[in-house]
Amino acid sequence: MEIADAVVIGGGVIGTSIAYRLAEDRNVILIEKGEVGSGTSGACDKAIFLQSKQPGFPVRLAKASKEIYENLQAELEEPIEFKKGGGMIVIEKEAHLDFMKEFVKKQYKAGIDVNLLDRKETLAIQPALSETIAGSTFSTEDAEVNPLLLSQAFAAAAKRRGASIQTYTEVTGIKTQDGKITGVQTNQGYIATELVINAAGPFASQIAEMAGVGLTIMPRRGVILISEKVEPMINGNILCSQYMASKHFTSKSEKNAPSYGIGLSLGQTESGNLLIGGSREFKGYDRKVEPHVLSAIAAHACRIAPALNKIKIIRSMVGFRPYTGDGLPIIDWAREVDGFVVAAGHEGDGIALAPITGKLVTGLVNNDSKSSDLLEPLKMDRLQVV
Amino acid sequence: MSDKIICRCEEVLLSEIVEAMKTGAQTEKELKLKTRAGMGICQGRTCRPLLEQIISFYTNKKIPQASNLTFSIPVRPLSLSALAHTGKDYKNEN
Ligand SMILES: Cc1cc2nc3c(=O)[nH]c(=O)nc-3n(C[C@H](O)[C@H](O)[C@H](O)COP(=O)(O)OP(=O)(O)OC[C@H]3O[C@@H](n4cnc5c(N)ncnc54)[C@H](O)[C@@H]3O)c2cc1C
């Protein structure tokens, strides 16, 4: 039997970020059933977008996270390929122009440096785009990071602080006594602890259930096409206004919206591969992507960026966004049992929000009043269904 | 020992694979994430069996019957526009 001050469940960007912060003054064990970063955090894009977030609290949270990113590479002493390459949201149809104009105005007020560009200005930055687009919004504040390296870097830095990172280990049960957490059972043994952090991303509901905690986080499937290596042709990251509509307005049944929640996300890795996304679907944990979803993503990308037509796609990648329902994660103590923290549900923003999540969880367990301002809107009970 | 190229697409040398294993990589996926072996245009069609042999040699694990690395569609490189044309959405989109 092992003993730990805290057990973090899940070795994605969220769990590793938390383990790193908690390990500063605690004896931490992180449990991951696969490899570090082998879940959603290894099957996603690399964007740290500010301008795509809803004005108000989501922007504030993303900004706080971005601030940590500014020095993260030096802090972790590991390469994470953090780059401030800027971000663009392409406005394809004139019909989206008014909605995006409003959005930019609000973002500007929220303190994000974002500008509305016309077609010519847009093509000057991204020559790969179609001549028929209406314009774009562009922000130099948007950045990117290599998510594969990020989880590895957090895990390595946590280890240096004395944390134990146990991979190929699956949590099978959580022990409680008199309404308190007492330990975690894995397929490799038992760990006695009074503090459990549930950072299992799209599997957070299953973990919560083991502790008798009610939590609804659903997997929202996303698919990305990956191209062969090509010369640099995309600057920073690109989304399309359809993506914004898919992301923020799914409930308002938009007429003429493309199938499978398709919205362009486009970026190029340091190695030269293009990441061409993406879709948003509720399909359980099914990894078998229907061919028509892939072709729909390809068709959408070809139309907005015809320069990609001839580029060869070498594989696809499937990830499950942890979906809470309102686009924000849950970072909170469970009500049902003492010693159980939920830090999951980052949906499509987990890479952007990983640094702040580690700090907020530490603030939560240390009862640090500095964090309460950002923690308040992330409480569990905001989502209680009627 | 003279060095050898294991992954031709990403130009990964045997020495790099061995180095990655020394620093903890134990599986094809870990080797792939550390060295990019298998991430190139052929998606491991050439280096997969080599990687399996190397891992087996250094860890005494059996060479797996079925590969540990997942294959994802498309199974052969396909141009984006060709992929677009395979679906019914193509007409709606254009
Ligand atoms: C297509 C796509 C594109 C995206 N693009 C972006 C982007 O550009 N920018 C951005 O900010 N975000 C993006 N995201 C979102 C981001 O990937 C996620 O929000 C983030 O990866 C979630 O991290 P996580 O650590 O919570 O979950 P995960 O990475 O899934 O980690 C959870 C871990 O828990 C482990 N686990 C589960 N059950 C158990 C158990 N019983 N025992 C032990 N371990 C267990 C799993 O193996 C897994 O590794 C994208 C997502 C997708 C799908």
Q: Are strands B12-13 and B5-7 parallel, antiparallel or unpaired?
A: antiparallel
Q: Which of residues A261 and B93 earns the better pLDDT score? A: A261
User: What number of residues does chain B have?
Assistant: 94
Domain for residue B74, yes or no? yes
pLDDT for A251 beyond 50: no
Average pLDDT over residues B6-29: 91
pLDDT digits (tens, 9 = 90+) for A148-201: 999 999 999 999 999 999 999 999 999 999 999 999 999 999 999 999 999 999
pLDDT given for residue B70 in this prediction: 66
* pTM (2 d.p.): 0.91
Q: Which of residues A200 and A104 earns the better pLDDT score? A: A200
Domain for residue B79, yes or no? yes
pLDDT given for residue B76 in this prediction: 81
Average pLDDT over residues A251-261: 61
The count of other CB atoms within 10 Å of the CB of residue A159 is: 17
Q: Is B78 on the interface with A (CB under 8 A)?
A: yes
Q: Cβ(A72)–Cβ(A16) under 8 Å?
A: no
- Closest of A171, A192, A172 to residue A183, by C-alpha: A192
The beta-carbon neighbor of B81 closest among A273, A276, A309 is A309
Domain for residue B94, yes or no? no
DSSP letter for each residue of A83-151: B---EEEEE-SGGGHHHHHHHHHHHHHTT--EEEEEHHHHHHH-TTS-TT--EEEEETT-EE--HHHHH
pLDDT for A253 beyond 60: no
pLDDT for A241 beyond 90: no
Domain count, chain B: 1
Q: Is A228 on the interface with B (CB under 8 A)?
A: yes
Domain for residue B9, yes or no? yes
Residue whose CA lies nearest to ligand 1 atom number 31: A12
Q: Residue B69 — left, alpha, or beta (φ > 0 → left; ψ -120 to 50 → alpha)?
A: beta
pLDDT for A326 beyond 90: yes
Q: Which residue intervals of chain A are DSSP H helices?
A: 13-22, 57-76, 97-109, 119-125, 147-160, 204-210, 241-248, 291-304, 350-365, 372-375
Residue B44 is part of which domain span? 5-89
Under the banding of pLDDT at 50, 70 and 90, the label for residue B92 is very low
- Closest of B40, B42, B33, B43 to residue B70, by C-alpha: B43
pLDDT for A341 beyond 60: yes
**Beta carbons within 8 Å of A378's beta carbon, 6+ residues apart:** A328, A329, A330, A331, A332, A360
> For residue B20, what is the domain's CATH number?
1.10.10
pLDDT given for residue A256 in this prediction: 58
Domain for residue B51, yes or no? yes
Ordered domains of chain A (ranges, CATH): 2-44+148-217+326-382 (3.50.50.60), 87-140+218-323 (3.30.9.10)
pLDDT given for residue B71 in this prediction: 66
**Beta carbons within 8 Å of A234's beta carbon, 6+ residues apart:** A126, A128, A266, A267, A268, A274
A204-219 burial code (b ≥16 CB/10 A, e <16): bbebbebbebebebbb
CA gap A23, A29 in Å, rounded? 9
Mutate to test the pocket of ligand 1, among A8, A30, A149, A203 (most ligand atoms within 8 A of CB): A203
Alpha-carbon distance values, A8 to A27, A164, A373 (Å):
11, 10, 24
Interface of B with A in 23-42 (CB under 8 A): 27, 29-30, 33, 36, 39-41
Domain for residue B66, yes or no? yes
Q: Which residue intervals of A184-290 are DSSP H helices?
A: 204-210, 241-248
pLDDT given for residue A371 in this prediction: 95
CA gap A286, A292 in Å, rounded? 15
The count of other CB atoms within 10 Å of the CB of residue A78 is: 17
- What is the DSSP code (8-state) at residue A211? T
pLDDT given for residue B88 in this prediction: 56
Q: Are strands A135-139 and A114-118 parallel, antiparallel or unpaired?
A: antiparallel
Of A58-62, A64-68, A100-104, A286-290, least confident by mean pLDDT is A100-104
Could B77 and A312 be called an inter-chain contact, meaning their C-beta atoms sit closer than 8 Å? yes
The count of other CB atoms within 10 Å of the CB of residue A374 is: 18
Alpha-carbon distance values, B33 to A255, A295, B24, B49 (Å):
41, 27, 12, 17
The CA distance from A226 to the nearest CA of chain B, in Å, is 10
pLDDT for A336 beyond 90: yes
pLDDT given for residue A386 in this prediction: 46
Under the banding of pLDDT at 50, 70 and 90, the label for residue B93 is very low
| Atom of ligand 1 at shortest range from CA of A171 | 42
User: What number of residues does chain A have?
Assistant: 386
pLDDT for B94 beyond 80: no
Q: What is the mean pLDDT of chain A?
A: 93
The CA distance from A103 to the nearest CA of chain B, in Å, is 25
- Closest of A287, A278, A268 to residue A228, by C-alpha: A268
